[in-house]
Amino acid sequence: MEVTFLGTSSGVPTRGRNVSAVAIRLPQRSELWLFDCGEGTQHQFLKSALRLSQLRRLFITHMHGDHIFGLPGLLASLGLAGNSQGVDLYGPEQLEEYLNGVLRNSYSRISYPLQIHRVEESAQKNKVLLEDKDFLVRCTPLTHRVPAYAYRLEEKPKQGRFDIERAKALDIPPGPIYSELKQGKLVTLGNGQIIDGRELCGPSRPGASVVYCTDTLFSEAAVSLAKGADLLIHEATYAHKDSELAYQRQHSTSTMAAQTAAEAGVGKLVLTHLSPRYAPGNPITPEDLLKEAQAIFPNTILAKDFLKLEIKQS
């Protein structure tokens, strides 16, 4: 999985940061999944190496404008391009009414299949939101001023590594047989010997996992969703000094994000959704928020627009 940050500011865009959007490219299937779609996201696509035509699924965390104002324009442009195979859109209850209203009143036509899925039931009942042969998506409610949801995308476990040396020792000839054995199948050799491919494969390998968590106060539900994830993308709207503001507006501080990462035992934490009040040159800067988080969870980095991370399977 390749993660690209297209917007890392909170509330409003700045000169250096657009509002919320994170793209995850799945190279093995030439698909792009997008998490949130703040104003200007399609312009961010144009500045990146990502191909909007590969957009297949889109997940919205909540209905605040800095997370959704780019959605109608992006979907309309995708329709005008005429090269979309269809999009599945996931989000809160109000998402369908909002989108249909904007598209209808702007006389915009969606020329490709568009399906909208509500996430409340999956989040509240801890049910899988989406599952196909390669991936699972789960979600959970967060603590914010409006209904908001975090998402976890994970690859399904893969077959264990194939022991080629052991196969050679058993005089199994290389070729198509190896492919079947790698899949754990029973194979009958020319001499009548039956080989169980599972005995030539190591233990299954866990898939890569990414959790996207914004907007919220510190949340035990988010900790539970993020357990053992390779990457946690978490909002850090405020510095620890401004905790009172964070509680009033139900956003996280840098230390809340780090606490979530530490309790969940994730591999890496990325801070995003940073308040413009901490722009470089101000008394507190994003680097100060990073230091606060690293004091609790050392493997923390700071998101910036167009930062790209590759999350590999174990």
Question: What total of structural domains would you count in the chain?
Answer: 2
Catalytic position from the list 66, 215, 242, 305: 66
Whether residues 35 and 89 fall in one domain:
yes
Distance CA 115, CA 50 (A): 23
> Which parts of the chain sit beneath pLDDT 50?
none
Whether residues 223 and 293 fall in one domain:
yes
Residue that terminates a domain, selected from 149, 181, 200 = 200
Q: pTM for this structure?
A: 0.88
Whether residues 236 and 99 fall in one domain:
yes
Give the pLDDT confidence score for residue 118 in this predicted structure: 98
Whether residues 128 and 222 fall in one domain:
yes
For residue 207, give the DSSP letter: P
Give the pLDDT confidence score for residue 204 in this predicted structure: 72
163 part of the active site: no
Whether residues 175 and 41 fall in one domain:
no
Q: What φ, ψ does residue 161 adopt, rounded to 5°?
A: -65, 140
Distance CA 138, CA 154 (A): 9
Task: For residue 55, give the CATH number of its domain.
Answer: 3.60.15.10
90 near 129, Cβ under 8 Å?
Answer: yes
User: Burial, 199: exposed, middle or buried (Cβ in 10 Å; 0-12, 13-18, 19+)?
Assistant: exposed
Whether residues 48 and 65 fall in one domain:
yes
Helix, strand, coil: what percent of the chain each, to 5?
Answer: 35, 25, 40
Whether residues 12 and 103 fall in one domain:
yes
Whether residues 62 and 177 fall in one domain:
no
For residue 19, give the DSSP letter: B
Whether residues 80 and 175 fall in one domain:
no
Question: Which H/E stretch holds residue 32?
Answer: strand 31-35
Residue that terminates a domain, selected from 150, 185, 200 = 200
Give the pLDDT confidence score for residue 194 in this predicted structure: 84
Whether residues 304 and 281 fall in one domain:
yes
Whether residues 68 and 85 fall in one domain:
yes
Containing domain of residue 171, as a range?
Answer: 164-200
143 near 250, Cβ under 8 Å?
Answer: yes
Whether residues 116 and 182 fall in one domain:
no
Q: Is 223 helix (H, G, I), strand (E, B) or coil?
A: helix
Give the pLDDT confidence score for residue 174 in this predicted structure: 78
Residue that terminates a domain, selected from 183, 200, 217 = 200
